[in-house]
Amino acid sequence: MNYNTSRPDIIIPEYGRNIQLLIEHAKVVEDREERQLFVETIVELIQQLYPQSRNIDDYVAKLWSHIFRIADYDLDVTPPCEILSKEDVYKRPDPLPYPGNKIKYRHYGKNIQEMIQKAAEMEDEEIKEDYVQVIGSYMKMSYNTWNQSNVSDEMIRKNLSEISNGTLELEEDTNIDSLLGSQPPQRSNTSSRSPIRTKRTSRTRSTSKSSSTARPKRASSSTTKRRRK
């Protein structure tokens, strides 16, 4: 008995073993014209076996590339399209290099280091001071995002000085929380809304009073009509 376990593996299982045996037989055909015709017949056979795949772009080119792949690119025929070589198909891409930069404090991220480096290169002192305040507020926001405990402004100043190697410093009287805008804005329209509400309530009360006074009059008119009758 000839079991499948003793046979060579199927390179493309979708086509089955019989297609693979036909391609292996095409490799031993001596006449080149006969071999060319034999391989073209195999392509037509695959198209008949799988008609649902004809809507794929470059379907014929795909079939020819699969035939060469099954034949291990050892097939002397002329394909109607360009076929990549075995080296190009199995060529591995170049490995991506690992990032070489080292982040001193990972919870601040890489952007903080780039911002600090950019701030150190600034010449205008006023713009540099404002930019350092932005960096400090961003550092505190990042720390509170990745850590459960809150951080003090003194720790932010210390870390900023360590990352910048002492070139950038936040002033001691700087309130980083005010830079973050953590305080909720005060409502200024509360005083203007109160008289409007009083007017509406007064109107509703006046209308309720007028309706309550009007109802007894209607009732009295009906009673007078009954008495007249």
Angle at 101 between CA 168 and CA 134, to 5 degrees: 30
Tell me which of 74 and 150 has the higher pLDDT.
74
Average pLDDT on 68-73 reads 92
What is the model's pLDDT at position 171? 77
What is the model's pLDDT at position 2? 74
Give the position of tokens 């360009």.
82
Judge contact between 167 and 120, C-beta under 8 A.
Answer: yes
Rounded Cα distance, 172 and 150, in Å: 18
Lowest model confidence (mean pLDDT) among 5-19, 107-121, 123-137, 210-224? 210-224
DSSP, collapsed to helix, strand or coil, labels residue 115 as: helix
pLDDT in tens, 86-103: 888 888 888 888 766 677
Tell me which of 54 and 229 has the higher pLDDT.
54
The pLDDT confidence band at residue 200, using thresholds 50, 70 and 90, is very low
pLDDT in tens, 147-170: 767 778 888 888 888 888 888 887
Rounded Cα distance, 204 and 218, in Å: 21
Tell me which of 215 and 138 has the higher pLDDT.
138
Does an H or E element contain 118, and which? helix 110-120
Give the position of tokens 């952007």.
111
Mean pLDDT of all residues in the chain? 76
Residue 133 has pLDDT above 80, yes or no: yes
The pLDDT confidence band at residue 181, using thresholds 50, 70 and 90, is low
The pLDDT confidence band at residue 202, using thresholds 50, 70 and 90, is very low
Q: Which two tokens stand for residue 74?
A: 């050892």
Residue 64 neighbours by CB distance under 10 Å: 21
Residue 195 has pLDDT above 60, yes or no: no
Tell me which of 32 and 215 has the higher pLDDT.
32
What is the model's pLDDT at position 99? 66
